[in-house]
Chain A
Amino acid sequence: NAGVTQTPKFQVLKTGQSMTLQCAQDMNHEYMSWYRQDPGMGLRLIHYSVGAGITDQGEVPNGYNVSRSTTEDFPLRLLSAAPSQTSVYFCASSSYGAEAFFGQGTRLTVV
Chain B
Amino acid sequence: EDQVTQSPEALRLQEGESSSLNCSYTVSGLRGLFWYRQDPGKGPEFLFTLYSAGEEKEKERLKATLTKKESFLHITAPKPEDSATYLCAVQGPMFSGGYNKLIFGAGTRLAVHP
Is B75 part of the binding interface, using a Cβ–Cβ cutoff of 8 Å? no
Residue in contact with A50 in the complex, picked from B43, B98, B102, B103, CB distance below 8 Å? B98
Q: Is the CB of A105 within 8 A of B96?
A: no
Question: Which range contains the number of A residues in contact with the other chain?
Answer: 20 to 34
Find chain A residues with CB under 8 A from B97 CB: 50-51, 54, 56
Indicate whether A31 sits within 8 Å of B43 (C-beta atoms), given known contacts A42-B104, A99-B34: no
Is A102 part of the binding interface, using a Cβ–Cβ cutoff of 8 Å? yes
Q: Is the CB of A48 within 8 A of B42?
A: no
Q: Is the CB of B43 within 8 A of A102?
A: yes
Indicate whether A100 sits within 8 Å of B46 (C-beta atoms), given known contacts A40-B106, A42-B105, A42-B106: yes
Q: B89 CB to closest chain A CB, in angstroms?
A: 8
Find chain A residues with CB under 8 A from B13 CB: none
Interchain residue pairs with CB less than 8 A apart (30): A4-B43, A31-B99, A33-B102, A35-B104, A41-B106, A42-B103, A42-B104, A42-B105, A43-B87, A43-B89, A43-B102, A43-B104, A45-B101, A50-B98, A50-B99, A54-B97, A56-B95, A58-B95, A58-B101, A96-B98, A97-B91, A97-B100, A99-B46, A99-B49, A100-B46, A101-B46, A103-B43, A104-B41, A104-B42, A104-B43
The 5 closest A-B pairs by CB, nearest first: A42-B104, A50-B97, A102-B43, A43-B104, A99-B46
